[in-house]
Amino acid sequence: MDDLTREFLIESQEGLDRMERCLTELESKPSDMGLLADIFRTVHTIKGTTGFLGFKRLEKLAHSGENLLGLLRDGKLAADGSVITGLLQLQDGLRSILRSIETEASEGEDTDAALIARLEELQAPAMAAQHGRGRSGHVAGPAVMDPAPAAAENRAPTSAESAATPGPEAAVAPESAIAPASLTAKQEKEPGTDAGKARSVPAGAAAESTLRVDVTLLNRMMNLVGELVLTRNQVLQATSGQPNLTMLSRRLDMVTSDLRESVMKARMQPVSNIFSKMPRIVRDLSQSLGKRVRLQMEGQETELDKSLLEAIKDPLTHAVRNSLDHGIEDPDTRDRAGKDPEGLLKLRAVQEGSHVIIEVADDGAGIAVEKVRVKAIERGLITKERAERLLERELLQLLFLPGFSTAAAVTNVSGRGVGMDVVRTNVEKIGGKVEIDSKPGKGTTLRLRIPLTLAIIPALIVRSVEQSFAVPQGALSELVHIPPEQAASAIEWMEGAPLYRLRGKLLPLVFLDRLLMPDVEHRQVTEQDKFIAVLNADGRQFGLVVDGLADPEEIVVKPLSAVLKSIGLYSGATVLGNADLALILDPGAIAVKAGVTISSEEQGRQSGEEETGEQAGKSLEYLLVEAAERKSAVPLGDVLRIEQLKVSRIEYIGYRPVLNFEGHLLPVEDSGGVLAAVQHDPEAQIIVVVCREGNRHVGIAVSHVLDVASGGDLFEAGTGKQAAGVTLLKNSVTGVVDLGAVAPLPVGEQATSEWDQMTEAAR
Amino acid sequence: MSVAGNDLSRRGKTAETRVEMCSVRVGQGLYGVPITYILEIVGKARPQPVPLAPGFVGGLVHYRGDVLTTVSLRQLLGMPPKDGPQDILVLENAGGAMGLLVDSVGEVLTASSLEYEPNPSILDERRRALFAGAYKLKDSLLVMLDPEKLDPMRLSGSVAA
């Protein structure tokens, strides 16, 4: 059963419950127009929706009921006993069909003719009420009996129990009270049990397995869970040194995580909520643009926090419009290019770790990179020299600059230059990222990376002006440590503007203490440890200079009062594990406040940096690591983060070392024997380089991380073939760690036996 | 008495009733806050300062899962800041919950509305904006604070102006 039908069933059952209440109430207050209107609405809604879902039998029955109710509502008919009986029968009839849809996904055999006839008969003018009442006895019999056979066979699998227990007296009461006296005892019993079952069967199914909850209540729960997460963080910190509390705090940790996940899940909605709007948009747009487009949607069941779903609606719509307008060509052009005249637009949603990826892919013309280059120079977004040096991927990043549009003509659909930058701004506002990928002639893919939730975010805690501040991890690209003796020399000044040479490129710096305490006279950079958090916000990259770093923490975002929000630097506040309060810094606002702009040079440099390591054929950057006195290289582009931890954190499944990150298992590769070397000392610190390998993450145990360097190509003597698996790093041949060779962890159902074997082996 | 109360508080108009208020001390002064506005009293708190915040903001405190902005009564009255922990009255006004940072919270006093006098005209502008008259106690004056006027958002408007 699809979601639409399920929702319809729930709504209809709720409506029928309400209708039943109203009907019984109507009996005592026959002229209450409000009640009649309510009943009419229920039946009308059912009719309307069934027409849409294609349930013919239900529609027919609801339609005849609606006619009768229309007369009642308009005051052309009085709601006397027989009419109410008829309406209750109608309600039972509708219920039995709904039940059939729910249990068998079909409406069952159409046996409603008598009931419909009865309802039509009731529509006879009110003056014949006496007459109608006289006849109702005859007709009511079969009509009441009517839904029974259909219901009986539909109910077959579940009926044994409910048939054994007769319907509750209360449920029977309205039926039997209204039923004309001429009904036999047998007939009276029939509708009675029928009604009883009608209520009990759906009650046990869809109507009771789901519950509608007020969003404010969910928000409150989220708040409380956030509170619990904070308390847990504090408990974990407080008990870390006490072995007798370890078990308890671990359990608290686990339960809290589970609870948090469950509450978060309750806030989740499938992306189909916004995907479902797309077919209409695509249809309308492709018609108005004279294009033929087929829409294909995948992963609609992927879930996302409700508030985030709202937030990506506009960017997604924009992306779809863009694809249709600029991406997919008109049928003639496609035909000439040897493509299917009908373009394909693919919407795909998939969850990847703590992010949901939403892809908008078209098989259109792709982005003409040369055009982008020309346009960027034309618009003065970038200098000519700079543009000529840019690589394809770097050029694509220019699309996200404000005021950029490659559309030859400005159409009313898009192309006014307020396109991609808006998409990016909106997505980054919720902590997401936008990537674009395009192959000329083949199509363009826009990828939105959206975090699963907003309320709890990972953040780096930094220290400045003797306080803690939280920097959202999403904006953080790397950290640089400047030792005290270098503090004065490493930071260079250009007419009062502090800069740092990050791998040969100048990075503008913002001193957090100077920014926050502008009145205080700051001496020249003092001889103490400085840390530069390289942040990337809204396309602005800068280094935030802070005095100290604390551990990254999962923080619960608390809103700030309006007066503090208006300062503009803080996006919220949070309570840290040590019970300190920390303000959450807004990297974008800091960049603006400090005057960091997206200059063309900077943009080029930044995108250049982002893309380094991913350019095939160009010199890759590597992380130089040392494992058991042997140096090896890890492609920097694949490195997610570097963790320093106690060797005791490494656990084993069988012989395989793994790391448990809050339920996410990371296989650890230890070809260098780092783990084995320190195994006798559980307090020893090791370093695990966490890398991306395809869709999974793998860890590499190393003893030291040495440097970042760009690798040179090496060729086999004689053949001149490019050597694989090695690179030239700092003039010495270094082996590249083959991430692909790290054996995957057994996952999925077929692997459970393997798990068992391994855990067996471990014992 | 030459009291020309042009700033009549609505509390003053409710004649012949007993009014309960919480007394707070800042410096040498005794001030009163109607208890109906008070959610809770948090003792010995150390609010986290907020860099770049307006001067009257006393900092942030963690209060029942929320982060509460506090207003420093010392700052509002133009007194030098005090070191060490201070007490916080958690108030609820139209703008939501907020904290009022005071030197110490005293007892709850009951006064007759007959003892009420509106703000005297010689009061300076800033204080007149905060005070809602005073109750004549046996041996001193209890200056009433108007919680609605302590709302940080309103203060930021009036202090800036």
- Say if the Cβ atoms of A563 and B53 lie within 8 Å: yes
Give residue-wise pLDDT tens across range B57-66. 888 988 876 7
Q: Hey, is the C-beta of A337 within 8 angstroms of any chain B C-beta?
A: no
Answer yes or no: do A563 and B48 touch at CB < 8 A.
no
pLDDT of residue B92: 86
pLDDT value at A690 more than 70: yes
Cβ distance of B156 and A566 shorter than 8 Å: yes
| Identity of the residue in B53, B61, B155 whose CB atom sits nearest the CB atom of A564 | B53
Name the residue with higher pLDDT: A150 or A32: A32
Q: How far is B111 from chain A (nearest CA, A)?
A: 34
Cβ-Cβ contacts under 8 Å, B57 against chain A: 563-564
- Mean pLDDT, residues B66-74 taken together: 88
Are A62 and A53 contacting, i.e. CB atoms less than 8 angstroms apart? no
Query: Within a domain: residue B143?
Result: yes
Mind listing the pLDDT tens digit for each residue in A564-585?
Answer: 888 888 888 888 877 788 999 9
B2 within a domain of the structure (yes/no): no
Residues in chain A within 8 Å Cβ distance of B48: 467, 580-583
Distance from B23 to chain A by nearest Cα, in Å? 26
| Residue A577 at interface with chain B, using a CB cutoff of 8 Å | no
Range of the domain at B92: 17-160
Position A681 scores a pLDDT of 77
Contact (CB<8Å) A564/B50: yes
To the nearest whole Å, the CA of A221 is away from the closest chain B CA by: 11
Question: Would the CB atoms of B98 and A561 count as touching at under 8 Å?
Answer: yes
Is A462 in contact with A471 (CB distance < 8 Å)?
yes
CATH code of the domain occupying A456-600: 2.40.50.180
Instruction: Using an 8 Å CB-CB cutoff, list chain B residues near A562.
Output: 95, 152-153
Does residue A748 come out as left (phi exceeding 0), alpha (psi in the -120 to 50 range) or beta?
A: left
Decide if pLDDT at A452 tops 80: no
Give the DSSP letter of residue A399: G
CA closest to A584 among chain B residues: B50
User: What percent of chain A is modeled with pLDDT above 90?
Assistant: 3
pLDDT confidence tier of residue A758, bands split at 50, 70 and 90: low
Q: Is A570 on the interface with B (CB under 8 A)?
A: yes
Average pLDDT (A441-454) is 81
User: How many beta-carbon pairs under 8 angstroms link A with B?
Assistant: 66
Question: CA-nearest residue of chain A to B47?
Answer: A581
**Which residue in A157, A159, A119 sits closest to A139, CA to CA?**
A119
Q: Which CATH entry fits the domain spanning A3-209: 1.20.120.160, 1.20.120.1770, 1.10.510.10, 1.10.10.60? A: 1.20.120.160
Q: What are phi and psi of A622, to 5 degrees?
A: -125, 150
Option in A223, A566, A570 nearest B65 (CB): A223
Among chain B, residues having any CB pair with chain A shorter than 8 Å are 48-54, 57, 60-62, 65-69, 95-96, 98, 152-153, 155-156
How many structural domains comprise chain B?
A: 1
CATH class of A270-451: alpha beta
Whether the per-residue pLDDT at A144 is higher than 70: the answer is no
Give the mean pLDDT of chain A.
74
Asked if A564 and B48 come within 8 Å (Cβ–Cβ), the reply is no
Contact B56, B75 (CB under 8 A): yes
Mind telling me how many Å the CA of A583 is from chain B's nearest CA?
Answer: 8
Distance to chain B for A21, nearest Cα, Å = 40
Q: In what order do the strands lie in the sheet with A505-511?
A: A476-482, A530-537, A540-546, A505-511, A497-502, A491-494
Nearest-CB residue to B52 (from A467, A559, A567): A567
A520 touches chain B (CB under 8 A): no
Say if CB A549 and CB A462 are below 8 A apart: yes
- Which residue did the predictor score with more confidence, B2 or A92? A92
The answer to the question of residue B82 being in a domain is: yes
What DSSP string runs through A309-367?
A: HHHHHHHHHHHHHHIIIIISPPHHHHHHTTS-SSEEEEEEEEEETTEEEEEEEE-S---
Q: Give the least confident one: A319-333, A739-753, B108-122.
A: A739-753
pLDDT at A297: 87
Distance, CA of B102 to CA of B147 (rounded, Å): 14
Looking at the complex, does the CB of residue A171 fall below 8 Å from at least one CB of chain B? no
- The verdict on residue B101 lying in a domain is yes
Distance from CA of B12 to the nearest CA of A (A): 30
Residue among A467, A564, A573 whose CB faces B57 most closely? A564
Of B50, B155, B156, the CB nearest to A583: B50
Quick check: is B6 in a domain? no
A560 vs B contacts (CB less than 8 Å): 67, 69
Residue A210: what are its φ and ψ, rounded to 5°? -125, 160
**A223 reaches B (C-beta below 8 A):** yes
Q: What is the pLDDT of residue B9?
A: 47
pTM: 0.50
Q: Is A756 helix (H, G, I), strand (E, B) or coil?
A: helix
Q: In this predicted model, what pLDDT tens digit does every residue of A175-221 receive, in sequence order?
A: 333 334 333 333 333 343 344 333 444 444 555 677 778 778 887 88
Structure tokens at A393: 């991927």
Q: What is the mean pLDDT of residues A287-302?
A: 86
Residues with Cβ within 8 Å of B87's Cβ and at least 6 positions away in sequence, in order, are B24, B41, B42, B43, B44, B45, B101, B102, B103, B104, B105
Contact flag A581-B60 (C-beta cutoff 8 Å): yes
Beta-carbon separation of A559 and B69 below 8 A: no
Give the pLDDT score at A406: 52
Secondary structure element (H or E) that encloses residue A471, with its range = strand A467-472
Predicted local distance difference test score (pLDDT) of residue A541: 84
Please, which pLDDT band fits residue A35 given cuts at 50, 70 and 90? confident
- Residue that wins the pLDDT comparison between A452 and A564: A564
Residue B84 lies in a domain: yes
Tens-place pLDDT, residues A98-129: 888 888 777 777 777 888 888 888 777 544 54
Candidates B60, B62, B153; nearest CB to A562: B153
Inspect the interface and report whether the beta carbons of A583 and B60 lie closer than 8 Å. Answer: yes
Chain B residues touching residue A564 (CB < 8 angstroms): 50, 53, 57, 60, 69, 152
**Inter-chain residue contact A558 with B66, CB threshold 8 Å:** yes
User: Helices (H), strands (E): how many in chain B?
Assistant: 4, 11
A70-104 confidence digits (pLDDT tens): 888 777 777 777 787 788 888 888 888 888 888 87
**Alpha helix (H) ranges present in A165-305?**
169-178, 185-204, 206-209, 215-239, 243-266, 272-275, 278-289
R_g of chain B computed on alpha carbons: 15
The mean pLDDT value for A682-692 works out to 81
Q: List the single residue in B with minimal CA-CA distance to A230.
A: B65
Residue A621 confidence (pLDDT) above 50: yes
Give the separation between CA A419 and CA A117, rounded to whole angstroms.
59
The structural architecture, per CATH, of the domain A621-762 is Beta Barrel (2.40)
Q: Name the minimum distance, in Å, from the CA of B152 to any CA of chain A.
A: 6
* Across A259-268, A495-504, A522-531, least confident range: A522-531
Q: What is the mean pLDDT of residues A216-232?
A: 81
Q: What is the predicted ipTM?
A: 0.81
Lowest mean pLDDT among A199-208, A334-343, A441-450: A199-208
Quick check: is B3 in a domain? no
Q: Which residues pair with A11 in a beta bridge?
A: none
A469 confidence band (pLDDT: 50, 70, 90): very high
Contacts of A582 in chain B (CB under 8 A): 48
Q: Identify the CATH number of the domain in which residue B135 sits.
A: 2.40.50.180
Are A569 and B52 within 8 A, CB to CB?
Answer: yes
More confident residue, A84 or A481: A481
CA gap B55, B37 in Å, rounded: 24
Least Cα separation, residue B60 to chain A (angstroms): 8
**Which of A222, A561, A576, A580 should be substituted to probe chain B, the one whose Cβ sees the most B Cβ atoms within 10 Å?**
A561
For the segment A249-277, what is each residue's pLDDT rounded down to a tens digit?
888 888 988 888 888 788 888 888 888 77
**Residue A242 pLDDT class (50, 70, 90 cuts):** confident
Contact yes or no for A721/A728 (Cβ under 8 A): no
More confident residue, A440 or B104: B104
Does residue B4 lie in a domain region?
no
